[in-house]
Structure 1
Amino acid sequence: MTAAPDLGTPRLAGPDLLRSVFRRHAAGVAVVTARGDGPVGFTATSLSSVAAEPPLVSFGVGTASSSWPVIAEAEHVGVHVLGEHQRELADTFARSGADRFGAPTRWRTGPQGVPVLDGVLAWLVCRVVARVPAGDHRIVVAQAVAGDPDGTGRPLLYHEGRFTALRD
Structure 2
Amino acid sequence: MTATPDLEAARPGSPELLRSVFRRHAAGVAVITAAGARGPVGFTATSLASVAAEPPLLSFGIGTGASSWPAVSAAEYVGVHVLGERQGELAMTFARSGADRFAPPTRWREGPEGVPVLDGVLAWAVCRVHARVPAGDHRIVIAEVVLGDPTGTGRPLLYHQGGFTGLRD
Q: Tell me the TM-score normalised to structure 2 length.
A: 0.96
Write the distance in 2 (CA, Å) between the matches of 1:60 and 1:27: 13
Task: Name the SS of the counterpart of 1:83 in structure 2.
Answer: coil
- The answer for the alignment partner of 1:152 in structure 2 is 153
Instruction: Give the deviation of 1:6 after TM superposition.
Output: 3.4
Write the distance in 1 (CA, Å) between the matches of 2:3 and 2:140: 35
RMSD over aligned Cα, in angstroms? 0.9
Write the distance in 1 (CA, Å) between the matches of 2:105 and 2:162: 24
Q: Is the aligned partner of 1:23 residue 2:55? A: no
5 Å-filtered alignment, 1:96-115, equals 96-115=97-116
Instruction: Give the deviation of 1:42 after TM superposition.
Output: 0.0
- The answer for the alignment partner of 1:32 in structure 2 is 32
Q: Is the aligned partner of 1:140 residue 2:138? A: no
Instruction: Give the deviation of 1:5 after TM superposition.
Output: 3.3
- The answer for the alignment partner of 1:50 in structure 2 is 51
Instruction: Give the deviation of 1:72 after TM superposition.
Output: 0.3
Write the distance in 1 (CA, Å) between the matches of 2:145 and 2:112: 11
> What amino acid sits opposite 1:134 in the alignment?
A
> What amino acid sits opposite 1:107 in the alignment?
W
Report the identity percentage.
75
Q: Tell me the TM-score normalised to structure 1 length.
A: 0.97
- The answer for the alignment partner of 1:61 in structure 2 is 62
Residues 49-84 of structure 1 deviation map (CA, whole Å, 9 limit, x = unaligned): 000110000000000000000000000000000001
Write the distance in 1 (CA, Å) between the matches of 2:114 and 2:89: 25
Instruction: Give the deviation of 1:36 after TM superposition.
Output: 1.2
Task: Name the SS of the counterpart of 2:93 in structure 1.
Answer: helix
Q: Note the residue ranges of structure 2 that are not aligned, 5 or more in a row.
A: none
Write the distance in 2 (CA, Å) between the matches of 1:78 and 1:153: 20
Matched positions, count: 166
